[in-house]
Structure 1
Amino acid sequence: MASCDKSSKVDVRDLFNALGDNTRRTIMDLLAEHDEMTVKQLSEHFPDLVRSGISKHLMQLRKLNLVYSIKRGREQIYRINPEVVSNVLRPWVKKYEKYWDDTLIRLKQAAESSKRDHDE
C-alpha cells in the first residue's frame, strides 16, 4: 500500500478546515462509497468543475494525508487513508459518542413506553 502513517502529525483543526468544503466532503464520501476512484471518475460527479479543480481538492486532502494515491498505468487511483481516520478522527468523535448513545437509549425507552401504553 502506498500510504504512510503521518496521522500523528495531522491536526484535527486542519482536517475540519479541509472538510469544511462541500466538494472535499463529497470527494471523501465518494471514496468511502467506492473504495477507490480516479480523477476522471470523481469529476463525473462534479459537472460544474474541471478536472484540475478536482485535482486541487485532492491535493489538499493529500496534504493532510486524508487520501493517498497509487499509480496504475497512466492513472492515479485515490483512496481514503484509513490510518488518519482511525488515529485522528476516531478519538475526536469518541468524545461525543455518549451524547448520541444517550439519545438512542431515550428514543428506545420512549418507543417502548408508547408501545406499552398502546397495548394497555
Structure 2
Amino acid sequence: MSDRRNTGGRAAIELNVEYKRLNTFFADYTRNISKGGTFIRTDRPLDVNTEFVFALSIKNLAEPLRLRGRVKWIVRPVDATPDSPAGMGIEFQYNDEKERRETEAIVEKLMANELGDELAGKLLGHKLSTKA
C-alpha cells in the first residue's frame, strides 16, 4: 500500500471533510494528512482520477480549508481490512505555486499544533519554526 502514497510525512489527525458528488453531499473523515494529500475514509469512494473540491474543517480556522484534489487510489469496502480501511487517497491539486505554498503552510501548522513541533518536523523532514 505504501507505494500508492506520496513521500511526504503523514500525520494521524482526524478532520471532518465534506464534498459533493453529483447532487449528493458527503461528510466523512480524514485520518491522515501530508503536504501533498490526504486519505478520506469512506464507504463511497469516488473513481480513480476524479477531480473534486472538498472542505476540511480545522479547529482554530474560522472557515473550512477548501482544497481541490484528485483521487489517486481507492480501497472499496469489499477489499477493506483493519490496516487498510475503505476510502480514497487524494492528491492535492493547485492552481499555482502560491496556492501550493499557502496550503503546505496550513498543513504544517496543523501538524505542529496537533503533534508538536518535534514530531511534525520529523514527519515533514525539516525543523519547524516555532514562531506564533
Structure whose alpha-carbon radius of gyration is higher: 1
- TM-score (normalizing by structure 1): 0.26
Greater relative contact order, per chain length (Cα 8 Å cut-off, separation 6+): 1
- TM-score (normalizing by structure 2): 0.25
Bigger proportion of residues as helix: 1
Bigger proportion of residues as strand: 2
